[in-house]
Amino acid sequence: MQKTQDYILDYTRLAAQRQYTGLVREHLARTHETPPLALVHSFGCQQNAADGEKLRGMLAEMGYGFTDALEEADFIIYNTCAVRENAEKRVFGTVGALKQYKRQKPGLLIALVGCMTQQQSVADRLKRSYPHVDIVAGADAWASLPERIYQALCQGKRSIKTEGEEPDTIVEGLPTRRAGWPKAWVTVMYGCNNFCSYCIVPYVRGRERSRRPEDILREVEGLVGEGYKDITLLGQNVNSYAGGITFAQLLKEIDAIPGEFRIRFMTSHPKDCTRELLDTMAACRKVSRHLHLPVQSGSDVILERMNRKYTVERYKELIAYAREKMPDLSLTSDIIVGFPGETREDFRQTLDLVQEVGYTALYTFLYSRRGGTKAENFPDPVPPEEKSRWFQELLEVQGRIGEGYMQRQVGSTLRVLVEGPGKGEGKLTSRSDQNIIVEFTGDAGLAGQFAEVEIVSARNWALEGRLIP
């Protein structure tokens, strides 16, 4: 349980870090005629993307400009992901290739932060075998990053995290450079206590800790005031938000903020998804009609071994209740294929569930063994080729279901938020309340506005519409 809030730090009051930020800024102003450029790349989930915006905010305070071109960068920061092994391999490969860049450009700074480098074994490996990497910090590096950058940039010293150096905290008041207008992310809680047996997140993101409701409300009010229209509340498990009020209560308070905007949230764990939350969703006008409720498997045996703490039956009851309250609800889910010990019969039950629920879209993953998790040592007899076949089968089944869902939208009228120009002359891209991409012809000035669109045709991943004047 999250009892006290002594884990919350205020960035604007971290005197030493403010000082380092100032020293870096002075150093850069002295040594550069034009602002040096930083490349910030985030791998993985939306939480990481949101953290990337804060990294940019901190760097902007130090005087950095930004680029997406590797050749132009004076500072490269990779914000890493550890959820699957492939993501880690890719980062090691990418960072390895930076060695020659650094030779050509000796002043280049290279930093790795995030979930992957939170693992001390990874930080140690980078220290030992990747000497061109200057800074290695973890997923909660906020309160140490200015100092690390100062050391690397101004003193020419490597700054590599050591075990226990960066405790679980929440840092309020970080500057943020948002990139997604009219959409914005607002993290409401960090960490995870669930320890699903396949998942590395609780080990790298630490224990659950919630932001204060007043800080969240102030941030959302500010965003609405700045013209943001689509606010996604983020947390590894938003339903266990515990900032003194429940997540459902938090939703109600955000819904009551004046202005026309939309509220989304992710991710919800089925074990904590209460009827109170579903009732609240249904009652709140601004909360979008989309629920991402990862089921992971359609087999009770596998769910038990995944430590998910719900049954297929209970999951289906939740879905039925949600649909009764919100008939136009769009449901999406995560599914892992090839969990250790999963049999063809278990997998068949997953296919059955997917067919029965009728998801709008699925995020499907092949199981990836992660060191330190419970499932690491579970016997895993099914060969990878067989798992790949199952995976393909699931994609095909969902492909048909998704297509059917999209076709059924033809002829309906959807309320969409226009995000900006689409592909093609005069086209706009937008998203419906159900989080479906809708393209239509219209004036570019509509960006950031809500519109009513009649759906005229459907493709696999997007709907085509006609603006209703």
Residues that bind ligand SF4 (CB under 6 A): 192, 194-196, 199, 201-202, 236-237, 269
Residue indicated by tokens 């649909």: 323
Looking at the Cβ atoms of 229 and 292, the one nearer to ligand SF4 is 292
> Minimum distance between the CB of residue 296 and ligand 5AD, rounded to whole angstroms?
6
> Minimum distance between the CB of residue 335 and ligand 5AD, rounded to whole angstroms?
7
Looking at the Cβ atoms of 91 and 111, the one nearer to ligand 5AD is 91
Judged by beta carbon distances under 5 to 8 A according to partner kind, the member of ligand 5AD, ligand SF4, none in contact with residue 202 is: ligand SF4
Looking at the Cβ atoms of 193 and 368, the one nearer to ligand 5AD is 368
> Minimum distance between the CB of residue 189 and ligand SF4, rounded to whole angstroms?
11
> Minimum distance between the CB of residue 87 and ligand 5AD, rounded to whole angstroms?
10
> Minimum distance between the CB of residue 46 and ligand 5AD, rounded to whole angstroms?
10
> Minimum distance between the CB of residue 295 and ligand 5AD, rounded to whole angstroms?
9
> Is the Cα dihedral 298, 301, 302, 306 positive or negative?
positive
Judged by beta carbon distances under 5 to 8 A according to partner kind, the member of ligand 5AD, ligand SF4, none in contact with residue 194 is: ligand SF4
Judged by beta carbon distances under 5 to 8 A according to partner kind, the member of ligand SF4, ligand 5AD, none in contact with residue 359 is: none
Residue indicated by tokens 């020293």: 23
Looking at the Cβ atoms of 295 and 414, the one nearer to ligand 5AD is 295
> Minimum distance between the CB of residue 306 and ligand SF4, rounded to whole angstroms?
8
Looking at the Cβ atoms of 371 and 383, the one nearer to ligand SF4 is 371
Looking at the Cβ atoms of 237 and 333, the one nearer to ligand SF4 is 237
Q: What count of other Cβ atoms lies within 10 Å of the Cβ of residue 168?
A: 15
Judged by beta carbon distances under 5 to 8 A according to partner kind, the member of ligand 5AD, ligand SF4, none in contact with residue 450 is: none
> Minimum distance between the CB of residue 283 and ligand SF4, rounded to whole angstroms?
26
Looking at the Cβ atoms of 237 and 246, the one nearer to ligand SF4 is 237
Looking at the Cβ atoms of 118 and 159, the one nearer to ligand SF4 is 118
Looking at the Cβ atoms of 194 and 434, the one nearer to ligand SF4 is 194
Q: Interface residues with ligand 5AD (CB under 6 A)?
A: 83-84, 198-199, 294, 296, 334, 336, 365, 367-368, 370
How far apart, in Å, are the Cα atoms of 135 and each of 18, 149, 183, 243, 367? 19, 7, 31, 33, 31
Judged by beta carbon distances under 5 to 8 A according to partner kind, the member of ligand SF4, ligand 5AD, none in contact with residue 461 is: none
Give every CB contact of residue 147 below 8 A, 6+ residues apart in sequence. 16, 17, 20, 159
Looking at the Cβ atoms of 334 and 454, the one nearer to ligand 5AD is 334
> Minimum distance between the CB of residue 433 and ligand 5AD, rounded to whole angstroms?
23
Q: What count of other Cβ atoms lies within 10 Å of the Cβ of residue 459?
A: 11
> Minimum distance between the CB of residue 397 and ligand SF4, rounded to whole angstroms?
23
Q: Which of 65, 89, 199, 79 is nearest to 140 (CA)?
A: 79
Judged by beta carbon distances under 5 to 8 A according to partner kind, the member of ligand SF4, ligand 5AD, none in contact with residue 192 is: ligand SF4
Judged by beta carbon distances under 5 to 8 A according to partner kind, the member of ligand 5AD, ligand SF4, none in contact with residue 336 is: ligand 5AD
The C-alpha torsion from 357 through 360 and 363 to 364, rounded to 10°, is 50
> Minimum distance between the CB of residue 364 and ligand 5AD, rounded to whole angstroms?
8
Judged by beta carbon distances under 5 to 8 A according to partner kind, the member of ligand SF4, ligand 5AD, none in contact with residue 269 is: ligand SF4
Cis? peptide before 182, omega within 30° of 0 = yes
Looking at the Cβ atoms of 28 and 201, the one nearer to ligand SF4 is 201
Residue indicated by tokens 């969409």: 416
